[in-house]
């Protein structure tokens, strides 16, 4: 569904959000550890998220990544996916046709629209805050 980069990105952002709600900044090392992701690769992804203003990075000793508390409930999964994978989740034909639309559709065009709208809707309505719920109490997990 998503690229590996995007999966790591969502997990990383979610963990940063969780820690930010506790008023804590998190190092790359901890993020990678707590999301079971490759450190250096995660670093690249966090650079992208930082450039896209989804997370803030602070260099130097006691630096790390954080998200302003007031932003945790406004940032949607769709923003993270867009920052990393672009809009190919939305546009792009299910059968790979370069052009596929209502006027000249592929055989599964209408059916795919339904599924993609579901995905789109989910991504656009799920906030980082919502992602963090359950993590603290062990109802949901970011690794294993």
Partner DNA sequence: TTTATTTAGGACATTTTTGTCCTATTTATA
Partner DNA sequence: TATAAATAGGACAAAAATGTCCTAAATAAA
Q: Which residues bind DNA (CB under 7 A)?
A: 3-5, 8, 26-29, 38-41, 43-44, 46-47, 50-51, 57-65
Q: What does 90 interact with, of a second copy, DNA, none (CB < 5 to 8 A by kind)?
A: none
> What's the distance, CA 14 to chain centroid?
8
H or E element: which one contains 57? Answer: strand 56-58
Q: Please, are residues 114 and 121 in contact by the beta-carbon 8 Å criterion?
A: no
Nearer to a second copy by Cβ, of 56 and 130: the residue is 130
Torsion of CA 32, 38, 40, 46, to 10 degrees: -50
- Two tokens, residue 134: 């359950």
Site for a second copy in 19-78 (CB under 8 A): 77
Q: Judged by CB under 8 A, does residue 104 bind a second copy?
A: yes
Euclidean distance between CA atoms 16 and 25, whole angstroms:
8
Among 63, 91, 95, 136, binds a second copy (CB under 8 A): 95
Q: Judged by CB under 8 A, does residue 99 bind a second copy?
A: yes
Annotate 58-112 with DSSP letters as a single string: E-STT-EEE--HHHHTT-BHHHHHHHHHTTTTTSS-TT--SS--SSS--TTHHHH
Among 41, 69, 134, 136, binds a second copy (CB under 8 A): 134
Among 51, 57, 119, 136, binds a second copy (CB under 8 A): 119
Min CB(9)–DNA separation in Å: 10
Give the residues lining the site for a second copy (CB under 8 A): 1-2, 4, 7-8, 10-11, 14, 77, 94-100, 104-109, 111-112, 114-115, 118-119, 122, 126, 130-135, 139-144
């Amino acid at each position: 569904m998503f690229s590996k980069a995007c999966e790591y990105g969502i997990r990383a952002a979610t963990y940063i959000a969780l820690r930010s709600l506790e008023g804590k900044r998190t190092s790359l090392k901890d993020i990678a550890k707590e999301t079971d992701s490759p450190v250096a690769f995660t670093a690249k992804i966090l650079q992208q998220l930082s450039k896209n203003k989804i997370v803030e990075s602070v260099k130097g000793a006691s630096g790390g990544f954080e998200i302003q508390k007031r932003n945790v409930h406004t940032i949607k999964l769709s923003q993270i996916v867009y920052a990393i994978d672009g809009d190919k989740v939305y546009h792009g034909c299910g059968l790979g046709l370069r052009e596929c639309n209502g006027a000249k559709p592929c055989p599964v065009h209408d059916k795919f629209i339904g599924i993609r709208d579901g995905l789109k809707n989910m991504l656009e309505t799920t906030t980082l805050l919502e992602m963090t719920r359950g993590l603290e109490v062990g109802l949901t997990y970011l690794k294993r």
